[in-house]
Chain A
Amino acid sequence: MATTTQEVSKHQIDQLIEEYGYDDHFHEHHHEGDKYQSGFIQKYIFSQDHKIIARQFLITGMIWGILGGLMSLIFRLQLGFPEGNMAWLKPLLGKWIIVNDGIGTLDPEFYYALVTIHGTVIVFFVLTAGLSGTFSNLLIPLQIGARDMASPFLNMLSYWFFFLASVVMFVSLFLSTGPFAGGWVAYPPLSALPEASSGSGAGMTLWLISLVLFVVSVLLGGINYITTVLNLRTKGMNMWRLPLTIWSFFITAIIGLLSFPVLAAGFFLLMFDRLLGTSFYLNEIFINGHALDRVGGSPILYQHLFWFLGHPEVYIIILPAMGLVSEVMSTHARKPIFGYKAMVYSIASIGFLSFLVWAHHMYVAGINPFIANFFIVFTLIIAVPSAVKVFNWITTIYGSSYRFNAASMFAVGFVSMFISGGLTGIFLGNAVLDIPLHDTYFVVAHFHVVMGVAAFFGMFAGIYHWFPKMFGRFMDETLGKLHFWGTLIGAYAVFIPMHYLGMAGVARRYYKFDNFDAFSHFAGINKFITIAAIITFVFQLIFVINFFYSIWKGRKMTSRNPWGSTTLEWTTPIHAGHGNWPGKLPAVQRWPYDYSKNGRDFIPQIEPQSDAEKDEFH
């Protein structure tokens, strides 16, 4: 990098670590760890090394990203071209394409299954496991100066539970009765009664098993992340010297630890209702004209348990993205992040508030309007810390000589998406406005922009930025920028029109609108959205190709710290082995954002403060 003229050389880094470092006698111990580094299987498959586990999470997440994206294209084809001939999909989808007189149509049941599985896998497998699983694993030990996670074994289990969850979900796609089709939120009674629809039988059983395995994975991971951040920081790395990435992973793990068990409890009762005939969620249901003898339960109870996780879950997705963006932005702006402490306090208060707003998803579920007021107030208060963060990002890049590359552009794109989607959240947060907007495309647009696309942008920023750390090579910049512009324009082209559909009252989760004359003139918009979605997907393939090509053929990394970063992960050897640092652990002498300071481009965290610096406070 030409910009880092005063780059601290490899030699100097090693010298600093040797002179000031923290000797934990790691390499003197006999490590269980060293055994698993030996064979291929232990090194790359059942690995306990956090760097490998990070890659496993990422690649599994990417596979689900592609599958989930393809599913959305199929149901978008249905929405954009309801009269179109889908016979050509018959080889792929088999009996789910019904061919009549040579015209193929998508089975409505399978349409719902696609929508459901798309939502489930993108939310949980891609944006939770693929995002926070990948980067928490990669960066927590490296950025706090630890040898590995507190329990590498549990960490390995965390990945393998995710893997099992993936396998079960994947198998459910091939059931003859189809995968679960009752929506990603899995409300009873559709989810509780196997006879309710064809996907509610075996499909729902596998869906539940998969998600319970997934919850175990998240909890095992989260326990490790929290423990590691609190216990295994290197000398000098006090909490106020943690990079914002670590703060966000840390708070995310706490949110996950407190909310995923609640989802597990909700699922637990659902399983009883399904398998053992209890009536926690069921009351006076009629199926095919006759009443079931299940009385006394309440479907609203499920909604409470689900959204008590469900809302924190959206922050579990977005906080890691925010952390990555803060770090990438500050590095490429060559400026300290603006308002570091304010950033930390807003992450923490978002985390806290996220537990107090769940019922804003239930304004029309018949909750008491007075209670709704409580949730309105807290929902709108969340906008405050969110706005603080946006302000700080903008101020960080304002007036900087921003280095525009794929990573840093995705970071800016994230902020754009987060603002656009956050604004519509404020509409929805008001119960009065939400009553007409609920269950319309306005909600779909809101959460895709603010969570779906924004989190993907954060993830892309992270991948382009830390790719060299993961694979010792760079991704191609030109393709990366192309990917950025295609995704930015494409995503807005898909989702801005959806707001309009929603305001006009077009309901979500409908297979077809031909029975509703009022919506017939939206056919053109729906076509446009579908075409935009296909084009946007093609741009994602550019990313996938770039990613895999670069793993083996990308430009090689020649210096340890290509971006001129201050943080610890760039002080390890390019191909760091087990234990991350070959000798002592680096000791930390300063906060992580000393960019453009005292006439220097950057000062790494391992460099002691000068006497003049010691007297000023951070």
Chain B
Amino acid sequence: MVTTIKNTEADSAARLFQAKRFALWIGIAGMMMVFTSLTSAYIVRKAAGNWLEFKLPDIFFYNALLAIASSVVLQASYAAFKREKFVLYKVLLALTLLMGVAFLLGQYSGWMQLVDMGIFLQGNPSGSFVFVLSGLHALHLLVGLTSLSVALFQALSLPDRLTERRKFRFELTLTFWHFLTFLWVYLMALWMYLA
């Protein structure tokens, strides 16, 4: 049984927010495919032998914990924003940004430790893969840090007000940040599993 649709209405702006939220997820799926294919290349290549084994610097694993913590903090900031606790919201937002920068510095020291161990970008692919995967993650992280900075700048410069538009933008940043965390945890889990 079919019913006739008659004279309905809705707001085009609200529909667009919904659509764009969805678009971010689709974009994340695309980025995830890049990492999935690189990690499967990693697995296949490893299975083929002639593979240099080495231990990853611990900092990479501590960074996974830091990433999870930063996601929790950003989520708390979002919750504060929704409850209109604007001071808490700004403090937590700034804290997330700091944690993100700390993460990046940690990655850098990890790369330096690798170099000290004699693992370079060139040479056996087992080392190259670590640099390429973590480097590509770092590139994505730069995008995340940029959007956090924009969010923080707006938080500090705009009047304290909860609007649909700002909530929507925050949600996009939040989703992307969680994705970055997930990605690093995924890479670390995979490494632990394969080691």
- Using CB atoms and an 8 Å cutoff, list the residues of chain A in contact with chain B: 19-26, 29, 147, 150-151, 154, 219, 222-224, 226-228, 230-232, 235-236, 257-262, 264-266, 268-269, 272, 276-280, 295-298, 301, 304-305, 308, 587-590, 608-609, 613-615
Contacts and interface: CB of A to CB of B under 8 A. Distances in A.
Contacts of B4: 20, 589, 608-609
Interface stretch (B14-22, B53-61, B153-161): B14-22
B37 A24 contact: no
Tier of interface size on chain B = 35 or more
Contact of B34 (A29, A265, A609, A615): A265
A227 B8 contact: no
A226 B22 CA distance: 9
A224 B26 CA distance: 9
Interface string B1-42: 111111111111101101110110011011101110110010
Contacts of A19: 6-7
A232 B15 contact: yes
A305 to B, nearest CB: 6
A296 B124 contact: yes
Nearest to B29: A257
A226 B23 CA distance: 8
Nearest to A279: B125
Contacts of A258: 29-30, 33
A24 B30 contact: no
B15 A278 contact: no
B27 to A, nearest CB: 5
A147 B124 contact: no
A296 B125 contact: yes
13 contacts: A25-B11, A150-B20, A227-B19, A227-B23, A235-B5, A236-B5, A257-B29, A257-B33, A262-B34, A276-B122, A278-B122, A296-B123, A298-B48
Contacts of A257: 26, 29-30, 33
B1 A614 contact: yes
Nearest to B27: A223
A272 B11 contact: no
Nearest to A225: B26
A261 B13 contact: no
B1 A615 contact: yes
Contacts of A308: 37
B30 A219 contact: yes
A26 B15 CA distance: 11
Contacts of A29: 12-13
A223 B31 contact: no
A226 B9 CA distance: 23
A20 B4 CA distance: 8
Contacts of A278: 121-122, 125, 128, 132
A410 B139 CA distance: 47
Nearest to A281: B125
A232 B19 contact: yes
Contacts of B121: 272, 276-278
A280 B121 CA distance: 11
